[in-house]
């Protein structure tokens, strides 16, 4: 099944690249790339670093109870995971995150998995709300409206699942323990431990204060990402306002959820250029804007990830004893 998913992702990316080559003339893009005002891009490294730091703070905040690791652990693990997301299929970097944080910070991998799921689902819900507003105000193609509806249904199902597990997860874990009897079998013990840890992880957003904190932090993160896009647009002389940039970002976000090659090669360009076309922006400038934006995002996350990986040292991480025991609830 995993191989099938990788094959599908590769086919989707190849199809998007074929569309890109047949639809756009890269020779037309080159003059725009040469004449771009790259001075606008100078603040981008600092903006990206602040963006990633806020994402690490937000991820760490999801540990509602118990001991939490240092912020440097969350940041370095997140950036190493992003690096592997750029080079592994099927977002394999997310599993790298869980493995590394469990090793480095001695945290339960089940609980780490829960925080990763909650963070992604909450981010998706915010994006769904923004997309719903934009779909009512933008003349998007019919396929975009249908895709938005499908993603909305998925997001609502994910939310219902998170709330259910957060409310009754520990009760389920206790029932499993009782079902196992006075001398529980190892499989029951392990499963009960996983359910309990996942439930604890899901409680990270169950308080109103944490919800407000998460949304506020997310708003700043999204504003910074729009700022990066605005700088690239200015470099290419494109007059695109913040609301239009948000629309482009959302279209790329939901578009890159489909299976694709590592780094969203092809799909990023496909959905970005189609979003620009809705706004009446096309040609070499549009292609240059999307290609340079994609390159900046890939290089930015990858270079920071390489630095964090060199600092942590992969052999040293692997050699760290695994403390994810059944007794640990950290």
Q: Quick one: pLDDT at residue 258?
A: 80
pLDDT in tens, 138-149: 777 776 667 667
Buried b (16+ CB within 10 A) or exposed e, 51-77: bbbebbebbbbbbbeeebbeeebbbbb
Q: Domain-by-domain residue ranges, the chain?
A: 31-319
Mean pLDDT of the region 158-167: 67
Question: Rg for the chain (alpha carbons), in Å?
Answer: 21
Angle at 100 between CA 261 and CA 216, to 5 degrees: 80
Q: Is the pLDDT of residue 103 over 60?
A: yes
Closest alpha carbon to 35 in 297, 294, 289: 289
Read off the pTM: 0.84
The helix (run of H) or strand (run of E) holding residue 245 is helix 242-255
Q: Quick one: pLDDT at residue 162?
A: 64
The owner of tokens 């959302």 is 250
Mean pLDDT of the region 223-234: 97
The owner of tokens 């689902």 is 121
């Amino acid at each position: 099944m995993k191989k099938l998913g990788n094959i599908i992702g590769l086919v989707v990316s190849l199809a998007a690249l074929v569309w890109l080559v047949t639809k756009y003339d890269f020779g037309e893009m080159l003059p725009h790339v040469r004449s771009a005002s790259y001075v606008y891009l100078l603040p981008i490294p600092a903006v990206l670093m602040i963006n990633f730091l806020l994402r690490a703070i937000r991820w760490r905040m999801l540990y509602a109870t118990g001991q939490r690791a240092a912020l440097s652990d969350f940041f370095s693990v997140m950036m190493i995971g992003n690096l592997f997301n750029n080079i592994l299929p099927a977002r394999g970097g997310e599993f790298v995150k869980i493995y590394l944080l469990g090793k480095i910070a001695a945290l339960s991998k089940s609980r780490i998995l829960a925080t990763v799921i909650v963070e992604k689902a909450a981010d998706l819900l915010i994006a769904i709300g923004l997309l719903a507003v934009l779909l009512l105000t933008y003349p998007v193609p019919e396929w975009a409206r249908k895709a938005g509806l499908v993603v909305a249904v998925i997001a609502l199902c994910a939310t219902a699942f998170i709330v259910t597990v957060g409310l009754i997860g520990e009760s389920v874990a206790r029932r499993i323990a009782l079902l196992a009897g006075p001398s529980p079998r190892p499989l029951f013990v392990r499963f009960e431990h996983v359910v309990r840890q996942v439930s604890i992880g899901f409680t990270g957003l169950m308080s109103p204060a944490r919800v407000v904190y998460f949304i506020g932090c997310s708003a700043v993160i999204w504003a910074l990402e729009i700022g990066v896009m605005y700088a690239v647009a200015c470099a290419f002389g494109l007059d695109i306002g913040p609301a239009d940039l948000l629309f482009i970002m959302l279209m790329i976000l939901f578009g890159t959820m489909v299976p694709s090659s590592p780094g969203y090669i092809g799909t990023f360009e496909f959905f970005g250029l189609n979003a620009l076309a809705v706004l009446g922006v096309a040609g070499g400038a549009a292609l240059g804007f999307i290609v340079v934006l994609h390159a900046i995002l890939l290089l930015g996350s990858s270079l920071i990830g390489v630095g964090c990986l060199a600092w942590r040292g992969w052999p040293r991480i692997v050699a760290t004893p695994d403390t994810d025991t059944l007794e640990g609830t950290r």
